[in-house]
Amino acid sequence: MKRLLFLLFCILTACNAHMVTMERYQDVSIGLTRSDLIELFGNPYEVRQKGPDAVEYEYIERVTAADRVLFLRHYFFLIQGGKVVAKRMANDKEVPLDDRNAYDLQTSKNSIDY
C-alpha cells in the first residue's frame, strides 16, 4: 500500500513538474541557461526571434476555478547568448463573466412576468 501511494505521489509530482506558475516564474534568475529554463518549464508555447542572437520564449499559465479558465498569465523570457537576459509577465484580460451577480440572478426583478 505504501508503495502504491509513493508511486501515485511520484506520478502526480511529475505531471506538475513543468507547470509554470507565478511562484516558479519569480524563482527564475537572470543568467539561467536556456537548457535549465527548458528543464524547469518544458518546451515554450511560442518562440519569437528578437534579433540575430536573441529569442523570446513564451509560456502560458491558465488560472482556473473549478473547470473554468478565469484568466491567462503569459511569461516571457528573453534568451541571448544561451542565457536568460530579461523576463516579463503579462495578464490577459479576465475571461468575461455575466454582468449580473448571483444576487441579481435570484431576485424577482429579473424574472419574466406573464
Question: Using an 8 Å Cβ cutoff, are 38 and 17 in contact?
Answer: no
Task: Specify the amino acid at residue 102.
Answer: A
What confidence category does residue 112 fall into, taking pLDDT thresholds of 50, 70 and 90?
Answer: low
Predicted local confidence at residue 63, as pLDDT: 85
Tell me the CA distances in angstroms from 22 to 19, 26, 91, 102, 109, one per residue in order.
10, 6, 11, 30, 42
Domains defined for the chain, CATH in brackets: 18-95 (3.30.1450.10)
Q: For residue 29, what is the DSSP state?
A: P
Tell me the CA distances in angstroms from 45 to 25, 58, 61, 97, 110, one per residue in order.
15, 6, 10, 26, 43
Across 24-51, average pLDDT: 95
pTM for the whole structure = 0.67
